[in-house]
Structure 1
Amino acid sequence: MTLSSSQAPAQPVYSSLDDVQQQAARMREFFGTGQSRDLKHRKQALTDMKQWLKAHEKEVLQALHQDLGKAAYESYITELGLVYEEIDLCLRHMRGWAEPKRVPTPMTMFPSTSTVYPYPYGVVLVLSPWNYPLQLALVPMVDAIAAGNCVAFKPARESAATSAMLIRMAQEVFDPQFVCGIPGSDHMNDWILATQWDYIMFTGSPRIGKVVMAAAAQFLTPVTLELGGKSPCIVNDDANLKVAADRIAWGKGINSGQTCVAPDYLLVQENVAQKLTELIKEAWTRYYGEDALDSPIWPHMISDKHFKRVMGLITNRNADSKILCGGEGDETTLKIEPTMLSNITLKDPVMGEEIFGPVLPVITFKTLDEAFGIVRSFPDPLACYIFSESKRVQQRVIDELQFGGMSINDVCVHLSNPNMGFGGVGNSGMGAYHGKVGFDTFTHYKSTMNHSTKMDIDVRYPPFTAEKKNLARKLMG
């Protein structure tokens, strides 16, 4: 039920577990009216969301700058623009996606028809992170609304300005029984996870993903987990090194490396390693100037805690390692220079966790088998990247490594295509979303068979005669 601001009802107050559970109950009651399942309602909801974002675009981009220091252009192409694309795709196709689909029926069930009916789960909970606080809250919300669900979402407390903007949007655009934003608090995570939802979408770390999954298990609630991991970037010696360097430098630099699909570490064939690292350094200088700490378009770390964590990964390394470029940080602005480290070993702290910052460890290899062995020494990553002009090499990476998704001769861009699902595998997540895959994620497909009563062949009924057995074998192979 979308509405004008003058029609907006009083917003829920969340000061206890009971408040959260009552809100979930009100939303489930609203879902039961069927309003959220109406296609006209779904389209109007997404249209109203986009109109609100368009009308408040400057404020939204300013909030992202306040939280993460993102330039307006970077915020548009990596956050707001992707939300617009997702809305437009769903508006174009949701009618077809929502239609019942006839499927074949086995001869053993003649005369029958079989139909699959898309049906929303009900009340969906979206838990979004701070690194892309707009996109990672709204894209799954768009998919869930397109599928006919009611949505409760809790944005991250760390990205306070954007989270406040999202909650304001929900309050000004939607009836809280249909879509509501739940502010974070000291106890909110516990309250939310003690409440029954019909589906949970979580984006964040594997550690918290396990907590969410365990809580969901208490209610047998299905989940989609978008996590992370150490996403490798493999550069073969036949790669176009200039293009590779520009794209790697861009992918590691966006949001100051605070991207779940950022190239986490560089695996480069040893005979081109020096040339590639020189080109990456040149690209960073070209993008952000001689001193990125003074660049108005170089983002900062989300908090002092994360600043200190990433600076610790730079300083705490083996004695033979080297800083090829960068390495400095400014605690007053929370900015860290784009940094490359060489002679890194798998035992260095920077290889012991997902970096989530502008630090690129460089490890060389002689053969692809050696590179693959390094990749396999870590849990399955969310993304994998290969730079090579060889189709054979590209296909080997696809065939022999496990990962959530990949870009070939680029980084990060595969998630921008709403016509493909985006998701992890194993430690990097489960399930996927974006576009039709997102619609499917938030949809239960009801399989139904309509068996006519005009005929009732008795081949399935006892007694099981030889004639019936022979007929069953002919029909069922």
Structure 2
Amino acid sequence: MTFELEQRFQAQHTAFGQGAAASCQQRRAALAALGRALRAQQDALVAAVNADFGRRPAAETQLLELVPLLDAIRHARKHLHRWMRPRRVAVNGLFRPGRARVLYQPLGVVGIIGAWNYPILLTLSPLVDALAAGNHVMLKPSELAPATAAAIRALIEQVFPPEQVAVIEGGADIAAAFGALPFDHLLFTGSARIARQVLHAAADNLTPVTLELGGKSPALVHASFPMQEAADRICTAKFWNAGQTCVAPDHVLLPETHAAEFLEAAGAVLRLRWPQAADNDDYAHLINDAAAIRLRELLDDALALGARALYPVGEDCRGRAFAPVLLLDCTVDMRVMREEIFGPILPILTYRTPEDALALLAAQPHPLAFYYFDRDRARVDRVLANTASGGVTINDCMFHLAQHNLPFGGVGPSGMGAYHGEDGFRRFSHARGVLLQSRWVAWTMGVFKPPYRPLGRRLVQWLLSRR
């Protein structure tokens, strides 16, 4: 299989080098063809995701994967001509009347390693940006969602020749070999543990890497914000896809004077949205038994260390139909507060003053997302200035991810690099700087060339003295 991988890569590398970069018209046509195939194959894709999860609501897959993906294609096609246009930049005053511009050129062959939790979106959304930038692409869908991987491969093979876009299926050994290929850029979405292996493999080829990871994304609620609204927005985002979302709120920080009100509202939200979750067709399963076992261990560890659990829709928390849990009295020594949860357990912490809450946030590694609920602009600005995260949504959760004009990515332990929209186009492009020297400047530059004469030395001293 390693030999086949190398053959696929070499075929793409050769095809890319044989001609000029794809035109705007060709790129838009490729994106349009991808969009048509997605619409035509949406039932097969939804069914594949459902098979991998054991149960994933069709509406959830459509809303959270297919809709944003098709919208990203529409956005890229609409704005691609502007993105590709050479960008004029000012010339250093010493070189006027020369001219300078930036050309955006495709990198070459891009590798994309997708994730299982949103196996369509997190595999094909980077493809949209890479194609918009004019690259050839190799995709490695997650081996934990094999039915979706097969469906993606069938879709891609209907649309693109393998020397332009290829899908590689297989297990962890294939993923490791994939990451070791000498790509011109590699994007990985997944856990920090696997990201270290990806970085190590890419380093041997000096391959630039974009890492989209995760972390413990907090939601901070100010006392002035209506608790009913906060509970609805936080719980909906948390328990979509049974908590298996990289930007889901991992835990909540509440003013201690309003915790009881929030808990009551959260229970009502869960009973409204997912009654009898274990048997509810609108509630997703966990991806596999290993995920269910890990979450049960997190919950048991917290309970053994003094946490209290509330089960608003029932206590079925042992199988893949893992019901929502609200967890109180959590402390930093519990695993649930040290590890990314990635499931339907929501720890709820309280604070006395906003300064206490900010201190708690500052002590944590930078997360992929941060959510703050407050309608006072001055306080919002102050909180933003005193926190760090990959992205932010104010007064809601997750929806910064759907904004095509915002970069999406982590910072520090939650990732490196960002994509989506124009930022994605630039992520997969080489910004090539070009200076067109003027004849007059080229002639006057002679005073700075050896042998150094008195005029040249005086001009150097003048340049050094400028402020």
TM-score clears 0.5: yes
Which amino acid in structure 2 is aligned with residue 461 of structure 1? K
- The question of whether the paired residues in 2 share the 8 Å contact of 1:125 and 1:197 is answered with yes
- The question of whether the paired residues in 2 share the 8 Å contact of 1:304 and 1:331 is answered with no
TM alignment of 1:51-70, pairs within 5 A: 51-68=36-53, 69-70=55-56
Pick the aligned partner of 2:137 from 151, 161, 169: 151
In structure 2, the CA distance between the partners of 1:330 and 1:239, relative to structure 1 (3 Å rule), is closer
Pick the aligned partner of 2:272 from 286, 307, 311: 286
Q: Distance in 1 between matches of 2:458 and 2:227?
A: 67
Q: Distance in 2 between matches of 1:299 and 1:256?
A: 5
451-460 vs 178-187, greater mean Cα deviation: 451-460
Deviation digits for residues 34-78 of structure 1, max 9, x if unmatched? 365222221111111100111111222222222232222221221
Pick the aligned partner of 1:426 from 399, 412, 417: 412
Pick the aligned partner of 1:244 from 230, 241, 249: 230
TM alignment of 1:316-465, pairs within 5 A: 316-317=301-302, 318-326=304-312, 328-329=315-316, 334-453=320-439, 455-457=442-444, 458-465=446-453
Q: Distance in 2 between matches of 1:133 and 1:36?
A: 29
1:110 offset after TM fit, Å? 3.7
- The question of whether the paired residues in 2 share the 8 Å contact of 1:323 and 1:340 is answered with yes
- The question of whether the paired residues in 1 share the 8 Å contact of 2:299 and 2:336 is answered with yes
1:90 alignment partner in structure 2:
76
2:174 matches 1:188: yes
18-27 vs 464-473, greater mean Cα deviation: 464-473
- The question of whether the paired residues in 1 share the 8 Å contact of 2:189 and 2:212 is answered with yes
1:397 offset after TM fit, Å? 1.8
**TM-score scaled by structure 1?**
0.93
1:103 alignment partner in structure 2:
89
Q: Distance in 2 between matches of 1:194 and 1:65?
A: 31
Which amino acid in structure 2 is aligned with residue 468 of structure 1? G
1:41 alignment partner in structure 2:
26
Query: SS in structure 2 opposite 1:381?
Result: coil
Q: Distance in 2 between matches of 1:209 and 1:347?
A: 25
Query: SS in structure 2 opposite 1:316?
Result: helix
1:195 offset after TM fit, Å? 1.6
In structure 2, the CA distance between the partners of 1:461 and 1:110, relative to structure 1 (3 Å rule), is farther
Which amino acid in structure 2 is aligned with residue 261 of structure 1? V
2:297 matches 1:300: no
1:10 alignment partner in structure 2:
none
In structure 2, the CA distance between the partners of 1:155 and 1:35, relative to structure 1 (3 Å rule), is farther
Which amino acid in structure 1 is aligned with residue 196 of structure 2? K
Identify unmatched segments of 5+ residues in structure 2: none
Seq. identity, %? 35
- The question of whether the paired residues in 2 share the 8 Å contact of 1:39 and 1:95 is answered with yes
1:167 alignment partner in structure 2:
153
Between the two proteins, the alignment pairs up a number of residues equal to 460
1:466 offset after TM fit, Å? 4.3
- The question of whether the paired residues in 1 share the 8 Å contact of 2:21 and 2:106 is answered with no
Which amino acid in structure 1 is aligned with residue 232 of structure 2? D
- The question of whether the paired residues in 2 share the 8 Å contact of 1:249 and 1:280 is answered with yes
Deviation digits for residues 297-346 of structure 1, max 9, x if unmatched? 100100000011011111222443211225733656x1111110101101
1:131 alignment partner in structure 2:
117
Query: SS in structure 2 opposite 1:360?
Result: strand
Q: Distance in 2 between matches of 1:52 and 1:311?
A: 40
Query: SS in structure 2 opposite 1:209?
Result: helix
Query: SS in structure 2 opposite 1:438?
Result: helix
